[in-house]
Amino acid sequence: MAPVSRRSACRGGVARGCTALFVALLLTAPNAAAAQDAAQEPVPEVTQEPAQDAAQEPPQGPSRAVTQGPVRTAEPWNLSDDELIAEEWEFSSQRFRPGSVPGGLIALTVGSVVHGAGHFYVDDQDSALKLFLGSVIGLGAVGAGSLARGIAPNSDAAWTTGTILQAGGVSLIVSTWIADAIGSFKGTTVPLPDNTGEVRGLALELFYRSVFGTAADLSSIAVVRFPYVGDRFVLRPEIEFAPLNRYRRFALEAAIRQQWGTSRDTHVEYGVSGADEHAITDGWGRTQLGVFVGLRVDAGELMPHLAGLVWRARLGAALDFAFYAADNNHRFRPRQRQLHFPFETSIGMNVSRGLHIELGYRHRADTKAGGFWTGGGSLVQRISIVPVNRIGVEIEAEEGAFVQVTAGIRWFLVGGRDR
């Protein structure tokens, strides 16, 4: 690690001249000021200290740099880390470098196969290795998921497990590729804006959801949410209704959080969820009870110059109890019970202080967009504008069997401007 001083230092022969001049100025400036003050005073006070100070010669050579505070060696490069720490020098955890257009282009092209190539080109081998290892872990997850689905192609559990592993692996691969490109283009001199994908506080959210598709059961849905997001506790109530189809859905999530990194965006979340959905006109409904665990990681925990780029994953287990009008809407019948493993993952960042973008994958049985294929999931893109005077805007698009677009406003009743 290269020590970084609060004051600049000169090396070699220039250092000795600069240090001598600097020390002489520090020693003579108080004396000159004292002489001027003495001339203005009607009865000057005679002391021996100014005369003694004026008679002192500046030290020869750069043995010590004069500072206010702890005395520091003028040649810190000759000291060990322990000696530098004892003298209260500061350290830089990485070498500062500007952004590189060639490095970014290499990350987008060659780096799509060999992740970390852009950082390797700009001589940041440490970050390059971390990105490469991340892509290898992602490939391993994809391979394990494919193996699970291949061994037991007729097993729902193996198919679901394999799909989740594949989705998580692809998410990690895409995330390391994006991180390589961003870090190579950006460099380390300018930090990313703070991530505002999740703002603390209590909010009222009013959204309109439209589902496009000829076979879609519902096309227009109103969504009302009252989420509370804190540092240790999260509560997410939600109401959906479509009066024309006599459809309604009530849902609630509660979770506790444990932060394990230096960033507020790095934490583990454990929670429970429940939902009751009823399409009266169509004669069906379902009740869902589940648990989940979520992981949110700021890339700055591993690579400081990428702080603000946040990767998120969430895995749950839920029991669905379907009910039908033909069966008098009886709930919780064992024969109508089905086990699901909802999974979501995404990567997001702020392109500016007020604009946040996020790309993700959603594998849920209760999403109205459906999946690309039987047992598959959907792609999600989200754009949000942070609250201005406590009002924010969000637009989300989801593509599966159908295309679903959700747009609306977020009004923070408490908080909302702490990031």
pLDDT recorded at residue 69: 46
* Helix or strand holding residue 86 (H, E): helix 81-86
- Picking from 237, 302, 238, 294, the residue whose alpha carbon sits closest to that of residue 268 is 294
Q: Are 173 and 347 in contact (CB under 8 A)?
A: no
For the question of whether the overall pTM of this predicted structure is more than 0.85, the answer is: no
Distance (Å, rounded) from C-alpha 142 to C-alpha 158?
Answer: 14
Kindly report the number of other CB atoms within 10 A of residue 301's CB atom.
15
For β-strands 284-298 and 403-415, DSSP reports them as: unpaired
Q: Are 359 and 350 in contact (CB under 8 A)?
A: no
List the structure tokens of 157. Answer: 């559990």
Residues 6+ positions from 253 with CB-CB distance below 8 Å: 234, 235, 236, 271, 272, 273, 292
DSSP state letter for 353 = S
Distance (Å, rounded) from C-alpha 326 to C-alpha 346?
Answer: 40
pLDDT recorded at residue 118: 92
Q: Where are the domains of the chain?
A: 2-92, 100-190, 203-415
Distance (Å, rounded) from C-alpha 20 to C-alpha 324?
Answer: 91
Name the packing angle between helices 101-108 and 156-186 (round to 10°).
160
- Picking from 377, 204, 368, 205, the residue whose alpha carbon sits closest to that of residue 277 is 368
For β-strands 2-4 and 233-242, DSSP reports them as: unpaired
Q: Are 360 and 350 in contact (CB under 8 A)?
A: no
Q: Are 382 and 348 in contact (CB under 8 A)?
A: yes
Can you tell me which residue has the tokens 């750069």? 62
* Each residue's pLDDT expressed in tens, for the chain with a length of 419 residues: 444 443 333 344 444 444 444 444 444 444 444 444 444 445 444 444 444 444 444 444 444 443 444 555 666 767 777 877 887 776 655 556 778 899 999 999 999 999 999 999 988 889 999 999 999 999 999 999 889 888 877 777 787 788 888 888 999 999 999 999 999 998 887 788 888 888 889 999 999 999 987 666 778 899 999 999 998 999 999 999 998 888 999 999 999 999 888 888 999 999 999 999 998 888 889 999 999 999 999 999 999 889 999 999 999 999 999 888 878 888 888 888 888 888 999 999 999 888 999 999 998 877 788 777 766 788 999 999 877 678 889 999 999 888 999 999 999 888 765 44
Kindly report the number of other CB atoms within 10 A of residue 19's CB atom.
22
Give me the architecture of the 203-415 domain, per CATH: Beta Barrel (2.40)
- Report the C-alpha dihedral over residues 68, 70, 75, 81, rounded to 10 degrees: -140
List the structure tokens of 134. Answer: 């991340």
Strand partners, 410: 205, 392
Q: Are 298 and 310 in contact (CB under 8 A)?
A: yes
